[in-house]
Amino acid sequence: MFDDLPPDLDRLHTLRVWHTMWLQRIDAKIAALARRQTEEERGHRNRPAPPEWIIELGIGERRPPLQIHTGDCHMAGKRHRPVDRDEARRLLATGHKACGHCRPDSLLGITDLSSNPAPTAATARRSNTHIAWLIIHIRGRYTPAADVEAGTGQPQKLFTTTRSTWSSTCT
């Protein structure tokens, strides 16, 4: 049998004391981590719910309201206060700006006051076509005379499916 322990009694007692101290340290660390974990769980359970609506406040003595956000919007600044649904609707109706990220005006049913209307499908198609046209014409990759390939009578391909051609067109 493999025995790597010392043969004398003094050194065995020393090892026993040493390992007892280590077990106490390990037990203390386990207890501390268990306490911390239960405190975190208690904190998560007892955390108040975020407000439904908040208003971002300006700088200065009066701190005027700047923008209305939903309660969980991460775009809201550090200076804000909670407001109820009626006050948020009133502030939007009086001309205060709605956050363009969380869109509280849409959630509150005040779509006609939106400063950033959602694009329609037709607008998006028109926008994409316009962007492609600008890329080709400004970069000089396309000329009206090159619409039809020489002798074939077929329109030229504006975009190819290869990644290198697309990236060279856009650069």
Same domain, 128 and 165: yes
Same domain, 87 and 109: yes
The angle subtended at Cα 27 by Cα 44 and Cα 46, nearest 5°, is 10
Q: How many domains does the chain have?
A: 3
* Structural domain span for residue 126: 122-170
Using the predicted structure, report yes or no on whether residue 71 has a pLDDT greater than 60: yes
Q: Cα–Cα distance between 51 and 71 in angstroms, integer?
A: 5
Same domain, 82 and 37: no
pLDDT at 139: 57
- Mean pLDDT score, 63-85: 89
Q: What are phi and psi of 120, to 5 degrees?
A: -85, 170
- Give domain status of residue 2, yes or no: no
Distance set, CA 138 to CA 27, 47, 141, 157 (Å): 71, 56, 8, 17
- Give domain status of residue 68, yes or no: yes
